[in-house]
Structure 1
Amino acid sequence: MEEDFEFDFSEDPRFSVERYEEMIRNQDQYFFDAQAFENIIEYYIEKNDPIKALQVTEYAISQHPFAAIFSIKQAQLYVATNQFDLAFESLSKAETLEPSEADIYTIRGNIFEGLERHEEALENYEKALGLAETTDEILLHIAYVYQSMGDYESSVNYLKQCLQQNMENQDALYELAFCYDVLDKQEESIKFYEQYIDNEPYSYAAWYNLGNAFNKMDLYEKSIDAYDYAILIKDNFASAYFNKGNALVHLDRYNEAIEVYKQTFEYEPPSGDTYCAIGECYEKLERMDEARSYYKKAVKLDPAQSDAWFGIGVTLDFEERYFESLYFYKKALDLDDKNADYWFAIADAQYKLKQLDESEKAYEKVLELNPVDIEAWLDYSSILFEQDKLTSAIEIISEGIKNNPDAAELYYRMVAYLFAASEYSEALIYLETALNTDPEKHHILFEYLPQLHENKVIVDIINRYTR
């Protein structure tokens, strides 16, 4: 007959594990107290071996059938191994044994949240709230569920409650920033983080989120100050350096931005995004060799970095190496064929290479993707005008005006084309509209058709609006 042995291994967890594994090897039956079983389960969880941990819960439940903790642990492990039906069964057993145990409802809420069964998730989290000693993580999960439901106002409410419970919950701080962003309530976001910082002046996450909110309000000087505080508190905070670099770029302080971007390399491995950002700064400074060098580093690190391929093209274009630039623009386009900027650059390069048919097709694509791009309407019509396709040029500008009824540039260009087509009365109607829209831009007309300076009727009309 097999003999049962009882051991108390609660003092030394490693000894518990050794004796448990000996029992399995010997196909024996030892008795362990509840604490020893908990230690053994935790050991396998830490070893990332949920299957063995589950096996231990079976033994634990057989020896301690009234201890709800083991059914709860079992449910957690079933969740980890995506066995949700079995997890629900284990939670039901635990609820029968210990209906006031908050973890039961939290885990069940987690499962429903993962299954996007939002109402059931909320119902369980609310039950857990009434039973748990610490509730900040439960409040955070309720906020996640409301986000999944598209109810960002309710999410904000629960995130604030979460932070009242635990001012140091970094996830809640970042989620709150995300919700304010979606709701486009940057002023409210700034107000919240400033009040938060009054209570928690050393929260680097709060300073960082405040910096991001200032950034979105185009308050770049203030955002830089906020990032500086975040960096002062946490000097290895790479994201704060990166975003500070972005703010400096918006202020055209490219040399400073380069230095700040490079500081991120001290705290995290270089990324394609950072190399690309440095490349753009050098490009703005017209230091094209250095720009190209960083763009190349970006694509070497991340071949899917379309902006870096595009950046290489821009540097070559600047040096009038249009044929080479076209190759890199097309590499960028292969990765992102819905990017209107890439199509525009291709159209422009093809025009410079006298590939006029291809250029026209590329401009059509730009305008399909971005019909509010005034420059594209002007450039496309200009190609047609240069080829004496005057009717087509007028049609294109007319289409451009339909899409951009407030763009004075298009009206002035239409005046030039109509004069070229000898449609004088129509041209004068468009001239009046152009001058009503923006009289300051009338010089555009003379830049395109300088001979109109000699036209007394046009000069008199313009003088009426500009004197």
Structure 2
Amino acid sequence: MEEDFEFESPEEQKFSVDRYEEMLRNEDQYFFDAKAFESIIDYYITKNDPIKALQVIEFAAAQHPFETTFLIKKAHLLASILKYDQALEALTKAEYLEPSEADIYLIRGTIFSSLNDHTLAEENFFKALELADSKDEIYYQIAGLYQVQGSYEKAILYLKKCLKLNNENQDALYEIAFCYDVLEQQEESIQFYKQYIDTDPYSFAAWYNLGNAYHKLEQFEAAIDAYDYAILIKENFSSAYFNKGNALVNLDRFAEAIEVYKMTFEYEPPTADTYCAMGECYEKLELMDEARSYYKKAVKLDSNQSDAWFGIGVTLDFEERYFESLHFYKKALDIDDENPDYWFAIADARYKLKQFDESIEAYTKVVELNSTDVEAWLDFSSLLYEIGRLQEATEVISEAIKCNPDEAVLYYRLVAYLFAAGKYNEALNFLEIALNTDPEKHYILFEYLPQLQGNPIIIDIIKKYSEGK
């Protein structure tokens, strides 16, 4: 039977380890009581040396053959180095000696979970639950199993059970946020964290996750308040500063965001993400030298930070250094060639450099990657119209309408192209559709073709819709 060991003091542990290592050097056999063996095993586990810990277990099992603790530790260590068959074998022996030991079933459940045998994993976890005095860790493992299976509602249920028994389990707090996120249940997430905070108002993790839930619902002021509470409780909580900075950016409070991002440097080394975020703030403030400086710091830390390469390009573009900007846009594209924003920037820079064929190629890629980018469709068709390829401009805007049938601005642009092509009846038909979709945007038509402002037929149709709506 397993004894209730008292743990050795650090001095006793050192004495036991020294004596054990002396035994190995002398190639001798010393006797150790079970408590000393357990202490030696734990010493090697804390040193992250599972092989030496397993070696101690062999000696311990030889001297204490009916002690299940050593078999359980052996199974745990073998599982940690992915020797599952041997681990399961050790657990079978332990079960034979002491079938009511909960850890046997907990470790076995963990192994079956790693082997994707969810049925056997669940069976063993619930067996452990029946036998264990302390159930919070088992609830956490069951929740993890349900997450792997995609049963996030069940996972939340067991994470809540875990937290009810141990409200200091930070991992469980974060996992609940993840589950609610996957289920897109941010309102429920907010409700949960508020209730949790009522019972534990000093949980920085709960305030932080509450802030993240508000952030995802775009309630940025509420998110900032929650991050502030997290920071108040844990001053060195750099993730809370970073996310607070992001929330401030979303409120266009760029100067404040920069100061908050800088706070992270007091508690952790600067990261490429933080430098890049700061660069973006300076860019929005049109302080391009500072923006470029932070983007450069970002790529120095991480040369695969595509957004920072792109940011350098944007600052040069702003200064009308289009040829130089292309070099950096291409660097970003080398890392992420499926990013429509990068292609859009290249298309625009090529257009400004009057490299129209290359611009058309880039626009084609933008709308292929993001067919809902109305601005890209408009600019693409506008370029074709400008260089006298009216038929293609009309085709592009028609394709845009297929992809975005509710966007009135596209219909008005098509009306302009049809008038320009002399297709008046068709143009008037589409004008009615445009006005039906959004009559207030009719000014777009005149912005593009001012000469239509004097057309009485068009004025009459617009008046009919404007007054009738």
Q: TM-score, normalised by structure 2?
A: 0.96
Note the C-alpha offset of 1:47.
2.0
Residue 266 of structure 2: aligned partner: 266
Note the C-alpha offset of 1:11.
7.9
Tell me, yes or no, if structure 1 residue 141 matches structure 2 residue 149: no
How far apart are the structure 2 equivalents of 1:210 and 1:81?
37
CA contact (8 A) 1:377 1:397 kept: yes
Which structure 2 residues correspond to residues 353-392 of structure 1 after superposition, within 5 A?
353-392=353-392
Which structure 2 residues correspond to residues 42-441 of structure 1 after superposition, within 5 A?
42-441=42-441
CA contact (8 A) 1:9 1:32 kept: no
Instruction: Provide closer, same or farther for how the CA distance between residues 452 and 90 of structure 1 changes in structure 2, counting only shifts above 3 A.
Output: same
How far apart are the structure 2 equivalents of 1:199 and 1:153?
22
Note the C-alpha offset of 1:466.
2.3
Note the C-alpha offset of 1:137.
1.5
Q: Alpha-carbon deviations, 1:276-329, whole Å to 9, x = none?
A: 111111111111111111111111111111111111111111111100111111
Look up the equivalent residue of 2:88 and give its one-letter code: F
Q: Alpha-carbon deviations, 1:133-156, whole Å to 9, x = none?
A: 212121111111111101111011
Q: Alpha-carbon deviations, 1:363-418, whole Å to 9, x = none?
A: 11111111111111111111111121111111111111111100111100100100
Residue 4 of structure 2: aligned partner: none
Instruction: Provide closer, same or farther for how the CA distance between residues 36 and 421 of structure 1 changes in structure 2, counting only shifts above 3 A.
Output: same
How far apart are the structure 1 equivalents of 2:394 and 2:29?
92
Q: TM-score, normalised by structure 1?
A: 0.96
SS, match of residue 32 in structure 1? coil
CA contact (8 A) 1:9 1:16 kept: no
Look up the equivalent residue of 1:346 and give its one-letter code: I
Note the C-alpha offset of 1:10.
11
CA contact (8 A) 1:45 1:53 kept: yes
Q: CA RMSD in A?
A: 1.4
Show structure 1 runs of 5+ residues with no match. 1-7
How far apart are the structure 2 equivalents of 1:153 and 1:42?
37
Note the C-alpha offset of 1:260.
0.5
Show structure 2 runs of 5+ residues with no match. 1-7
CA contact (8 A) 1:333 1:339 kept: yes
Note the C-alpha offset of 1:55.
1.0
CA contact (8 A) 1:10 1:35 kept: no
Q: Alpha-carbon deviations, 1:120-145, whole Å to 9, x = none?
A: 11111111111122121211111111
How far apart are the structure 1 equivalents of 2:305 and 2:77?
39
How far apart are the structure 2 equivalents of 1:248 and 1:314?
21
Task: Tell me whether 242-251 or 46-55 shows the greater mean CA deviation.
Answer: 46-55
Look up the equivalent residue of 1:238 and give its one-letter code: S
How far apart are the structure 2 equivalents of 1:81 and 1:406?
57
Note the C-alpha offset of 1:14.
1.7
How far apart are the structure 2 equivalents of 1:426 and 1:72?
80
How far apart are the structure 2 equivalents of 1:22 and 1:196?
52
How far apart are the structure 2 equivalents of 1:54 and 1:438?
74
How far apart are the structure 1 equivalents of 2:30 and 2:234?
51
